[in-house]
Amino acid sequence: ELQYPDRINCGVVLIDDAVREGHGDRVALYAESGTWTYAQLLERSNRIANVLVNDLGVVPGNRVLLRGPNNPTLVACWLAVMKAGAIAVTTMPLLRAHELSIIAERAQIDHALCDSRFAQELQQAAQLGGRLRNIVQFGDGHLEKIMNGQASTFDNVDTARDDVCLLAFTSGTTGTPKATMHFHRDVLAMREIVAGHLLETSPEDIYVGSPPLGFTFGLGALLVFPLGRRAASVLVEQPSGENLLAAVQRFRATALFTSPTAYRSLIPLLSKFDIASLKRCISAGEALPKATSDAWFAATGLRLIDGIGATELIHIFISAKGEQIHPGTTGKPLPGYQACILDPDGLPLPPGKIGRLAVKGPTGCRYLDDPRQRDYVYEGWNVTGDLYSQDEDGYFHFEARADDMIISAGYNIAGPEVECALLEHPAVKECAVIGVPDEARGQLVKAFVVLHDGHEASAELVQTLQQFVKQTIAPYKYPRAIEFRSSLPKTATGKLQRHVLRATI
């Protein structure tokens, strides 16, 4: 059980305490633009916190929107919001004016700190209505100038363990985005559970990855875990495959965080980089096919750590480490969490049966003013949108998101299982499998496929892929229709949007 004092501020724990404990001269952040020590990060966070309070008039509980690619100033802004007792509303750089205006409206944003290169969309969002008044830009010298006029020390705002400090929006894989509220203690819980227990983060660690700080996967991996354990974080503004591997090589990163799709695309690039410093590679956000895990292991000698996380639960809650990793399964609940599989009536199912994954633990879903809270939290259990089964050894197996289960001629077919089979074919770079309406069968399995360079779409290839799937999994699951695309629709966090494909057919 995690115990915190009544009054605690996660920003103070992450940065002030690190300097107080003597880490001031050690590197906290590495970036293209330079290196920041813990002492520099504290000083800059203090100056920005003074800007928030003295220049903008931020009072505890105000919401401050943060927007920009992953870089050190964005980290300092996030810490400043915490230290000022305000609420950070982290956003994905890819979001456009319309989506930002929904967030600004839903979260009742008063102020924003925004990378100047991403300010235009936010200014347009402010014009679409709402109460967003102050957008302070950084990176172009504006925030930098006013912060230098402020003191380098800050009188941290005394916050309660259960004060909201973060509003994180779900990525909207389906439907309109929901705002999830998290307390100071939730941020500390993910540090204890994921950085402490799962990753055993030590001060010698150097973390790098692709998820934006506006996604709780990235906020944990690249801010809370490294700072919280007095390690270092490498911030990559444009995390292409090449840029990520170059950052691993240049900064001798010890852990890499990205998605299953990205791990697949990194494999062919590995020979060009020295990644011998890596000790751990973490995959989250979407299901990790066993074939991807095996291919990564064959190429690097490192076993991917798969973990399922959700914005509602702030970070990863089922995973496994070291010898406990069973490729093809997500793992077991992390300490403090319980998980079970529920039938449609909300009753627990025995091993081997597929049902909704439900979890309970130190973090949990609190939607901001949203009736969908009732659907997600049932008698203290967080009922995810995922279908899972549990094996006799207690390991949890991902089957599909509930929306992605296809029912064809009375058979249940998990779209992702067909995707995994297709991905094992050397011509297939990416794919998405959905059910399309069909008079005879109810639904028909259809695959959208993106080919690797050097492969041409053709009727023969359709047949080849169909045969390949029939030989890989139960033949009735094969895609009766295959359409080739140059790309697939994805959310700002990089997840496949199968519902967008369903809407286009």
Of 122, 143, 255, 316, the one binding ligand 3UK (CB under 6 A) is 316
Structure tokens at 400: 């599909």
Check residue 31 for interaction with ligand 3UK (CB under 6 A): no
Check residue 15 for interaction with ligand 3UK (CB under 6 A): no
Of residues 24 and 327, the one with the C-beta less far from ligand 3UK: 327
Of 56, 79, 193, 308, the one binding ligand 3UK (CB under 6 A) is 308
Check residue 385 for interaction with ligand 3UK (CB under 6 A): yes
In the chain the first and final C-alpha atoms are separated, in Å, by 49
Minimum CB distance to ligand 3UK, residue 363 (Å): 11
Of residues 261 and 330, the one with the C-beta less far from ligand 3UK: 330
Q: What share of the chain is helix, strand, coil (3-state, %, to 5)?
A: 35, 25, 35
Dihedral sign from CA coordinates of 149, 154, 157, 163: positive
Check residue 284 for interaction with ligand 3UK (CB under 6 A): yes
Judged by CB under 6 A, the stretch of 15-23, 361-369, 384-392, 426-434 that binds ligand 3UK is 384-392
- Cβ atoms of residues 444 and 434 within 8 Å: no
Of residues 19 and 316, the one with the C-beta less far from ligand 3UK: 316
Segment 287-306, which members bind ligand 3UK (CB under 6 A)? Answer: 287-288, 306
The interface mask with ligand 3UK, positions 181-220, x = CB under 6 A, is -----------------------------------xx---
Looking from the CA of 262 toward its CB, the CA atoms found within 13 Å total 24
Check residue 330 for interaction with ligand 3UK (CB under 6 A): yes
* CB atoms near residue 468 (< 10 Å): 18
Pairing, β 164-169 against β 134-138: unpaired
Query: Closest Cα partner for 319 from 295, 349, 285, 350?
Result: 285
Judged by CB under 6 A, the stretch of 23-31, 223-231, 286-294, 450-458 that binds ligand 3UK is 286-294
Check residue 170 for interaction with ligand 3UK (CB under 6 A): yes
Rg (CA), the chain: 23
Residue 228: Cβ-neighbour burial (10 angstroms; 0-12, 13-18, 19+) = buried
Of residues 211 and 435, the one with the C-beta less far from ligand 3UK: 211
Q: Residue type for 58, please?
A: V
DSSP state of 493: T
Check residue 106 for interaction with ligand 3UK (CB under 6 A): no
* CB atoms near residue 218 (< 10 Å): 23
Query: Closest Cα partner for 366 from 81, 87, 158?
Result: 87
Check residue 285 for interaction with ligand 3UK (CB under 6 A): yes
The interface mask with ligand 3UK, positions 144-163, x = CB under 6 A, is --------------------
Of residues 215 and 251, the one with the C-beta less far from ligand 3UK: 215
Check residue 310 for interaction with ligand 3UK (CB under 6 A): yes
Contacts of residue 214, defined as CB under 8 A and 6 or more positions apart, other chains included, come to: 66, 67, 90, 91, 92, 93
Check residue 388 for interaction with ligand 3UK (CB under 6 A): no
- Cβ atoms of residues 349 and 388 within 8 Å: no
Contact positions vs ligand 3UK (CB under 6 A): 170-171, 216-217, 284-288, 306-311, 315-316, 330, 384-386, 398, 401, 493
